[in-house]
Amino acid sequence: MLDIHFIRDNPDALKAGLKKKGVEFDVDYLLHLDEKRRAKIKEVDDLRAEQNVASEAIVGLTDKAKEAKVAQMQSLKAKLGDVEFELKALEAEFTELMQKVPNLPLDDVPAGGPEDNRVIREVGEKPQFDFKPRDYLEIAEALDLIDMERAAKVAGSRFGYLKREAALLEFALVRYAFDTLLPEGFIPIVPPVMLRPEHFRAIGRIPPGQEEERYFLHSDNLYLAGSAEHTIAPMHAGEVLDENALPLRYFAFSSCFRREAGSYGKDTRGILRVHQFDKVEMFSFVRAEDSEPELERMVAWQERLMQGLGLPYRVVLIAAGDMGWPEAKLYDLETWLPGEGTYRETHSASTTTDFQARGTNTRYRTAGGELAFAHTLNATAFAIGRTIIAILENYQQADGSVKIPDALRPHMHGISEIRR
């Protein structure tokens, strides 16, 4: 959530940021509603003050005067009830409107949509084959690593079974990520995979019109999380953190759930875009001044993980109109898939500045004793399925076998290649 004081003082900057992000919103109406709400708050406060004065004045009055004062107090009480009801309605509309305002892009984020995303750098040598490279699903089916047919029988479309060495690869990637990130001061956690609606809205991950993207359990009033970010971001809701404890870094392994309602017809084969997948996620709570440096550190950690696997990738700065609701700046890492002959997104890293922390009321106390909202950042360590796809395609051999990257072999129970 944005700061209403910022909106009042900088309406033109808000309008420019919304335009840059491609979001239509009536800023003038929000400000008009805010004025009405503040006026109504003052009216409530004035009536309560008047009540207090009348209550104190009743002491020592004659019976007749007391009767008149009681009648006045009853009238004030009735009027206060009406005004408080009006204020409640205004507050509800105001809160709903504030939740429809996305975070604003930072100045160095390019304007535009997906076609305006900016490639920052390409890293790694693309593998050269003396045969036509196969796509991952052809490789996986030949090696009995992924079973989509039986998963569809059991759960429907966009689910898959990881089998044999593919299942081992999943946990090898998790171990490799843990080995890499633990020395960097990350606290490992296994978070809940469900959260209450108010927390999902507070972190800006149910933007207007995208409610169908999330799985909701009506009988329990809980959403299934689409990322560990969704349950780590509100983890310290309502708390005041010690500045000396920042940066507070978590990394989590969790299953993630997405309906992919907006991707009908896209990537319908295989495990590239599925309803359930596992992921290792990084998350940081930092001071405001450390927000952008922490984002660059997160991207550096992502690159270190990818370089350790020997996978070619590129870093892409995402344009404002292609970013999510709470994001102020977003990088994607796209990995080369030789079977497709293209790069595909495998990682993202973003800062939401203080947008999520305002929604969850997560603050820290500065050395000077002042309270400030934390900045929150999140980044993929590994989206397991997509990383396995990249390994299968980049490490495939002419005879149909697949080599295991050196970095993962210590966790593969002596397996150095997959073959049948």
Domain of 191, CATH number, reads 3.30.930.10
Q: Are residues 118 and 94 in the same domain?
A: no
Report yes or no on 156 lying in a domain: yes
Q: What is the pLDDT of residues 359-402, one digit of tens each?
A: 999 999 998 899 999 999 999 999 999 999 999 999 999 999 99
Report yes or no on 254 lying in a domain: yes
Number of structural domains in the chain: 2
Residues in a beta bridge with 380: 281
Q: What is the pLDDT of residue 179?
A: 96
Residue 396 DSSP one-character state: B
Cβ atoms of residues 285 and 161 within 8 Å? no
Q: Are residues 62 and 136 in the same domain?
A: no
Q: What is the pLDDT of residue 69?
A: 67
Q: Are residues 53 and 124 in the same domain?
A: no
For residue 374, with 0-12 CB atoms within 10 Å meaning exposed, 13-18 middle and 19 or more buried, which class applies? buried
pLDDT higher than threshold 80 for residue 68: no
Report yes or no on 29 lying in a domain: yes
Give the angle 42-46-49 at the CA atoms, nearest 5°: 140
Lowest mean pLDDT among 48-57, 58-67, 288-297: 58-67
* Residues that are catalytic: 258, 273, 345, 348, 386
For residue 329, with 0-12 CB atoms within 10 Å meaning exposed, 13-18 middle and 19 or more buried, which class applies? buried
More confident residue, 367 or 343: 343
Q: What is the pLDDT of residue 264?
A: 57
Q: How confident is the model at residue 74 (pLDDT cuts 50, 70, 90)?
A: confident
- Using CA atoms of 255, 259, 263, 268 in order, give the dihedral in degrees to the nearest 10: 70
Domain hosting 41: range is: 4-98
Q: What is the pLDDT of residue 223?
A: 96
Q: What is the pLDDT of residues 158-194, one digit of tens each?
A: 999 999 999 999 999 999 999 999 999 999 999 999 9
- CA–CA distance, 297 with 306 (Å, rounded to integer): 14
Average pLDDT of every residue of the chain = 93
Q: How confident is the model at residue 210 (pLDDT cuts 50, 70, 90)?
A: confident
- CA–CA distance, 191 with 184 (Å, rounded to integer): 20
Residues in a beta bridge with 195: 223
Q: What is the pLDDT of residue 66?
A: 73
Domain limit, last residue, from 67, 98, 129: 98
